[in-house]
Structure 1
């Protein structure tokens, strides 16, 4: 029994020598991919590695394509059994051998199926890993190509920079050589001209010294000329009249024009009266009206308080006025002219002669007996129109001068006298007013109000010039 069984087994193994895993060959590309959790077999890995080395193209740059098929897996044969077993199996009976072969066929087919399924799973897994490795390899090759391209570009740039540096070095060397040659030439030229240049330098120094001395002398002359010019300008500015001085000139011209007109009218100094009248009337055609107007301003307190005008007005007048023009109102010549006329008027006693001529025209007022009692003989006389005008003229004159005296604080009694003449102008004019205005004029001359006003005007002008400087100092 045991030998029969062993014979059957031996014959079965002999029959299995020709047994192969039948079926179609396995193609990797045609097998559906599916994931498996089983770990790949080491033998299968070595087998696929050998197949990959055989089937891989010579260049690593050729990319793997999924459409290409993987080399076929050869059929697996069972190893042959020993000869002793075959001999023993030949002795077993025929029926047992068939049963054994049938059981072996069933078991082998089951094992082959299980083995084929596991191999398919492992092959699919390996194929996915193989494709991933191919992709990584291709990406590495692309990066390597990019690196090679960048390296070549950097090499070209480095080569260009080397060429530029070499060219610049050559140019610099040439410039250095030319500069060195120029230095040598300049040294030679300086050595040759050293003797001549020393003489020229000495000559230039002497000329510079002489020019410096000349400049010094010229600067001294300029300074002295400037000081003289400032002195002349100060003198010229002192000859310029202030606003109040010009008003006074106008008033005095009106005085001269009025009294020479009265002289001509009453036949006083008939040989020169008409000529003087024409001359002074040309400056003051409306003498009475002008004096009454300025007297009203003095009563109202609207006269200019400041002795000198502002700096811009002084500058404009100094540029426009001419010291040689006697008819100009802005310089001192006009003041001297009217003062000369007033002195001539006083020396000829024109004012006294005019007052006597006007007094002869007075007539007695026709008054009743009771009304005439208690009145002085002078109050019973009625003044003529010319006498009344003369009184108004002199009242305005006195009011003007006392207003200026008060503005400049010349006399302590200036305010009192100003109020007195303001009140006098509000009452009707009588013969008493004739006496009062004459007393007022005498007091004005005795106190020297006109001279004091002139001195105050000059002091204010000098102070203004010292504070603001000469109007034309910038031009000098």
Structure 2
């Protein structure tokens, strides 16, 4: 016979067991659901993380590409600036080179004589060769005369002929082409075109003047035709007149100096120097050169040479010819003088 209490106890145990199992199942289901949810969330998060990583990688790639472009642009800009600097530097160097070339060209021009200046150099060499030769002949400055004559005659072997020819050409109005033709043969001589040739002859002319060579030569030639007082008392008037005529050597010297004066006064007239007297002086020397030289002419040529030096005709001619050779330097000098 069944005990009711046992039956109820048994039902209670069964109920408790079902309840425990239900709760356990419910917990497991809940845990399982939570696990599945967590797994889904984890997967979702993982996808999000992957997407973020991809986006981050893309952003990094884009940033790197952008940075690369910036670097390339910066490099191009740097190269552009460098090219500009190099171009500016090249232009500056070109300008400096042009200035240097202009300076060298100007200096070269200053160092080269004009046709007219070259002619003057040769004529002054002729003057030096002639008077040192006369020194040798008359025993003037014997310690140096021979060597001086040897040097200058090597540069001007026919001094009398050359100066007389220049004087003859100065008698006629000549064009620039004709004057250049006169100077053509002078260019064939070495060193004619350099300014040191002019400097050298000027030094020679100053040395001649400081030693008073011309005066000594004139005096020596006059002594050769000096007549004693006894001869003056015994000869008649006609013979006395003849004895007072110039010797051939003296006549040549007068003709030489007349040609010299015609040459320089012709140049002075052509350049418009001493306009109040240049034409008159030129015509006067042309007229006097047309007759045989007299003692009076000998005195006149000495006065003429003194006037030429006093007026500084040679220096004025040098200034005029330098204008054509170096106008910039001349204009600068004139401006500087006017500002003083």
TM-score over 0.5 (shorter chain): yes
SS of residue in 1 equivalent to 2:71: helix
| Cα distance in 2, alignment partners of residues 307 and 212 from structure 1 | 54
User: In the superposition, relative to structure 1, how do residues 200 and 307 fare at CA in structure 2: closer, same or farther (>3 Å)?
Assistant: farther
One of 261, 266, 269 as aligned partner of 1:406: 269
Structure 2 equivalent of residue 225 of structure 1 = 97
5+ residue gaps, structure 2, are 1-61, 182-186, 331-340
| Farther-moved stretch of structure 1 (249-258 vs 226-235) | 226-235
User: In the superposition, relative to structure 1, how do residues 234 and 205 fare at CA in structure 2: closer, same or farther (>3 Å)?
Assistant: same
**Structure 2 counterparts to residues 413-424 of structure 1, below 5 A:** 413-424=277-288
5+ residue gaps, structure 1, are 1-189, 310-319, 467-476
**Structure 2 counterparts to residues 46-125 of structure 1, below 5 A:** none
Structure 1 equivalent of residue 219 of structure 2 = 356
Structure 1 equivalent of residue 306 of structure 2 = 442
User: In the superposition, relative to structure 1, how do residues 363 and 333 fare at CA in structure 2: closer, same or farther (>3 Å)?
Assistant: same
Deviation at 1:371, TM superposition (A): 3.8
Aligned length: 260
**Structure 2 counterparts to residues 139-150 of structure 1, below 5 A:** none
Structure 2 equivalent of residue 271 of structure 1 = 143
Cα pair 1:242 1:308 within 8 Å, conserved: no
Deviation at 1:462, TM superposition (A): 3.7
| Cα distance in 1, alignment partners of residues 180 and 170 from structure 2 | 18
One of 186, 195, 216 as aligned partner of 2:88: 216
Cα pair 1:307 1:457 within 8 Å, conserved: no
- Residue 429, structure 1, aligned to residue 296, structure 2: no
Deviation at 1:191, TM superposition (A): 11
SS of residue in 1 equivalent to 2:171: helix
Deviation at 1:232, TM superposition (A): 2.5
Greater helix percent: which structure? 2
Cα pair 1:244 1:308 within 8 Å, conserved: yes
Deviation at 1:225, TM superposition (A): 2.8
| Cα distance in 2, alignment partners of residues 307 and 408 from structure 1 | 13
| Cα distance in 2, alignment partners of residues 344 and 370 from structure 1 | 43
SS of residue in 2 equivalent to 1:291: helix
| TM-score normalized by the length of structure 2 | 0.68
**Structure 2 counterparts to residues 304-453 of structure 1, below 5 A:** 304=176, 328-364=191-227, 369-371=236-238, 380-411=243-274, 412-453=276-317
Deviation at 1:331, TM superposition (A): 2.0
Cα pair 1:242 1:307 within 8 Å, conserved: no
Cα pair 1:363 1:383 within 8 Å, conserved: no
SS of residue in 1 equivalent to 2:201: helix
Cα pair 1:246 1:329 within 8 Å, conserved: yes
| TM-score normalized by the length of structure 1 | 0.50
Deviation at 1:302, TM superposition (A): 2.9
Structure 1 equivalent of residue 131 of structure 2 = 259
Deviation at 1:258, TM superposition (A): 0.5
